[in-house]
Structure 1
Amino acid sequence: MKILKYKKFTGLHIVCKKCNKLIEVSQETYKGCNHPIDRQKYKAILKQNGGRKTRDLKSVEYDEAIRELLDFKHELANPIRLIAEIPKVEVKHELLKDCIMMFGDWLENVDVPNHQKRPRSSSHIKNTLSNLMKFSRFLEDNKFDLNRFKIYDLNDVIIGKYYDHLDLTCKMATTYNHNTKSLKSFNNFLINQKGFNIPNFFGKVKLKYESMNPTSIKDDYFKKLLNAISNEDSICIYPNGRRKNEYRPYTRDAIELVAYTGMRIEETMSLKFSDIVLDDDGNIQHLVGTDLKFERAHNWNNTKAPKKVLIPISAELENVLNRLDYKKYMGTDKYLIADDFNISRKTLATQLSHSFTFFRKKANLSDDFSIKHLRKTFLTKLHTKTGFIESLGYQRSAKVTLNNYIDKVQVVKEINKIGFGYFNE
């Protein structure tokens, strides 16, 4: 039987692909293989790390087979080349509804290369896609068939009509802007990520001005709310009949901690006893918090040092820490709030927000403030009483703080207390 040309070379073999026997020198040695030469293949068999690596070579010419063998050997010495995935053949979706589904996968990092992945919260993804589905429903209501409507069918007339619709249905500028940002993101994805040759229609849409008017919580309102927090009459009955006890042993401490640190709710719930810093005399100097919102937006891949916030100590904050027995747990990795409970910090923050709303209603207070206003209250007090708000890192810039967190009415009241005059008389 004729066989492929063979000359001994380390790692090179000839194998019959019909009976899977080696037939390098003669047929007789390998027990009766008599299959024709077109069934034979050069094969590389190399030892590596105590095992064998094999590959069928493409060439039927000896010299070319040797080159393939050496290339295979080189690949084994460079393992990154071996694990490179074969790129998938991407289907070019054109229907608007398919493009929205593709965008949803991208937001969730489905089939996105690891170095391009971005962590996004489930609420962000849900709200973004909800805004896109609102646009789809608008098209359906105007007799467009979504089973035929392609992304190339978009035009300025359709988009202009949609924004006339948003002007009528969006009561707040923030709602209008959230819808617009979702559509802008979708349009940019199709152009920049998927290479669609379409105009950037939504890039031309201007966001509405959002008039910021931060308000803080009055001192007597906050004290009244704290006094209402107890295990008595703490059952909330939801519209569906479900009953839930909104009181927890840590509820009051947690709400006070949010108020006296000025951190966002989840950030406050993430504080640990190891975040307490003492001065040379052993007294509490400050706490060190982490700006989670900044981290998720600008340091999602952990390539930078975390953005820390230095939380000044106040008499009220020190009282809470004393109640939490900080001296006993000083320096430990225990959370200040609910460390012994099997609950995530994010879930704890949501639970606390619900409890705050319940006890605010129980205290017969108006519904024009929520737990988020505690941060505005703290920063307003810090600004009016010390003037050092820019130095501690609560926000990325002073402009963001002044526009979004400072209660201007309270600033005026503090100025009046000082006794402002043109000539200081």
Structure 2
Amino acid sequence: MAKRKHMPNNKHKGLFIYCHVCKKHFSWTRKTTLRNSKTVKEEPTCGETGKNYSICKNFEKHRYKSRLHVPGSDGRKASRTHDATNYADAVIQAIDFEKEFKSELQGLGQPIEIRNRHYLFDVQLRYIDFLDNIDVPEHQKNTLSDGRKNEIVNCLKIFNEALAKHNINKKLFIVNRINDMHVGLFHDYLLVDKNYKGNTYNGKMSALKAFLSWAIDRFNIDMKNPFEKVRMIPVIVKRDTITKEEFKNLLKIIKPENGIEIQGKYKRNRYKLYLKDALELGLHTGGRREEVVGLKWNMIREKDGEPVYIEVPNLKVKRKKGERFNTDVPPKIIPVTKSLKNILYRLRYDINKGKDRYILNPDKRTDSSIKSMNDALSLGFSHFYKQLSTGRELQFKCLRKTYLTYLSSTLKGDAKRLSSHATDTVLKKHYIDERIVDKAIKELDIFED
């Protein structure tokens, strides 16, 4: 957890605390002065709210930063943002930066355009702030999930590891020096050192390509993106589905005593009270983890007093379009088949229908609990499925593949109009094609008894 940063009065020369929200440099954080014969404690104030530094709510966006004067220039500064979390470490990093800065000036000759020199690590930190929507105009803000942002940050770290292996310092390396050779180093590091397969390799390369494209545009860097030349590795898409027998056996072994998993010195229990219900809903709705976790009773639409279909927000498409630009994204339509209806009634649909209440684990939902539920579905499925010893390695997403396989077989060309891969407009002025829904309800039967 991030802690508030502090700066002594006799600070190291050129070292500051910089706030990425109010854009203010703090050269001190607390001092005692003599005023009218009285000792008074003072603090600097936030550049945005005018309140004291010690109560600033944006302290997680504070960074230690060095600023050095470029000799012979008209007030120009060379700067570096440090990743230190305390003053002592920041001083060490500041001294290292000063040595590197002086060495580079001596080695490359002076008059060098320092103001246009964008160091890799500094730019990466700015990119992470961009992903967190810090200092981003409203129309450019993204809606990336925390999981996706963490994946991107991890890709940047792995790129830095690849460079470090060849003695390239991320804090001294300038972005516009990235070329095909460095992409090649990253390529080898992913395939040889990390032993990543096609999907993972492609994802890491795509993340670096996006990062560098952003940097070139953001800082107006005169260079071509060498990641544009990377060829993606062909990937064979696995269409593993779960069988009726496997699914029935899976539900049978989901018990507290079978949930224990040992990870080194830690012991986890993958059993959750809602896990069986979640897996059944996953199979019979074809929903992704977050869609299953987010199901509410008031999403269910009725006809003649009986549940007919569920309107589920198409989160994937809405995120891609971005906030305020996704109001026209139609929801996914999930037909309430005979088997799904039985599950809903077993979960007390008759009592809960129409309520703005989650179907699974409805009480005390928070952002962290929703994330933990998403993780519990995938980790729980994998843990219990391994105990079946089928010789296959299935994941939670196989339930969605199984559902879409049955849906496609039943509805033929109309299947895409109910799946999240729809290119047709499912809703036209709030009109549902009831013929398709009705056909799915009557004919779609997963694991018919």
TM-score range, shorter chain: 0.5 to 0.7
Equivalent of 2:270, from 246, 261, 271? 246
Residue 127 of structure 1 aligns with which residue? 151
Counterparts in 2 of 1:116 and 1:143: CA distance versus 1, 3 Å: same
Q: What residue number does 2:417 align with?
A: 391
Deviations 1:95-147, CA, capped at 9 Å, x for gaps: 22222222222222222223322122222222222222222222222233444
Hey, what's the Cα distance between the residues in 1 that align with 2:252 and 2:407? 24
Give the root-mean-square deviation of aligned CA atoms: 2.4
1:368 paired with 2:376, answer no
Unaligned stretches of 5+ residues in structure 2: 1-77, 80-114, 425-449
User: How far apart are the structure 2 equivalents of 1:195 and 1:234?
Assistant: 57
**Cα distance change, pair 356–341 in 1 and its aligned pair in 2 (3 A):** farther
Out of 260, 269, 281, which is 1:257 matched to? 281
Q: 1:317 aligns with which of 321, 332, 340?
A: 340
Distance 1:217 1:267 in 2: 20
TM-score (ref. length: structure 1): 0.67
Corresponding residue to 1:177 among 202, 208, 214: 202
1:337 aligns with 2:363: no
- Contact in 2 for aligned 1:285/1:313 (Cα 8 Å): yes
Q: How many Å separate the matches in 1 of 2:182 and 2:344?
A: 58
1:63-111: CA deviations, max 9, x gaps? xxxxxxxxxxxxxxxxxxxxxxxxxx99755222222222222222222
Write out aligned runs for 1:38-117 (5 A): 94-117=118-141
Tell me, yes or no, if the aligned pair for 1:260 and 1:317 is still in contact at 8 Å. Answer: yes
Q: Give the gaps of 5 or more residues in structure 1.
A: 1-88, 399-425
What is the percentage of aligned positions where both structures have the same residue?
28
**Residue type at the aligned position of 2:272:** R
Match of 2:315 among 292, 298, 305: 292
In structure 2, how many angstroms separate the alpha carbons of the residues matched to 1:139 and 1:358? 36
The aligned amino acid for 1:310 is: I
Q: How many Å separate the matches in 2 of 1:192 and 1:123?
A: 25
Q: Which amino acid aligns with 2:316?
A: K
Q: CA 1:247–1:200 in 2, change beyond 3 Å: closer, same or farther?
A: closer
Judge conservation of contact 2:310–2:334 (CA < 8 Å) in 1.
Answer: yes
Deviates more, 1:238-247 or 1:112-121: 238-247
Q: In structure 2, what is the equivalent of residue 154 of structure 1?
A: 178
Q: Specify the SS of the correspondent of 1:307.
A: coil
- Residues in 2 aligned to 1:247 and 1:148: alpha-carbon distance in whole angstroms: 48
Instruction: State the Cα distance separating 1:195 from its structure 2 match.
Output: 0.9
8 Å CA contact retained: 2:176, 2:221: no
* Rounded Cα–Cα distance in structure 1 between residues aligned with 2:244 and 2:234: 31
Output one character per residue of 1:351-377: Cα deviation in whole Å (capped at 9) or x when no partner: 222222232234444451011110000
Letter in 1 for 2:315: L
Q: Give the alignment partner of residue 331 of structure 2, picking from 308, 311, 323.
A: 308
Q: Are 1:291 and 1:309, in contact at CA under 8 Å, matched by a contact in 2?
A: yes
Note the C-alpha offset of 1:264.
Answer: 0.6
Give the SS at the match of 2:263. Answer: coil
Asked whether 1:188 is paired with 2:213, we answer yes
Q: How many residues align?
A: 308
Q: Does 1:282 align with 2:308?
A: no
Contact 1:295–1:307 (CA<8 Å) still a contact in 2?
A: no
Q: Structure 1 pair 222/98, CA: closer, same or farther in 2 (3 Å)?
A: same
The answer for the alignment partner of 2:430 in structure 1 is none
Separation (CA, whole Å) in 2 of partners of 1:268 and 1:145: 45
**Kept after mapping to 1: 8 A contact 2:143/2:322:** no
What is the CA distance between 1:389 and its match in structure 2?
A: 1.1
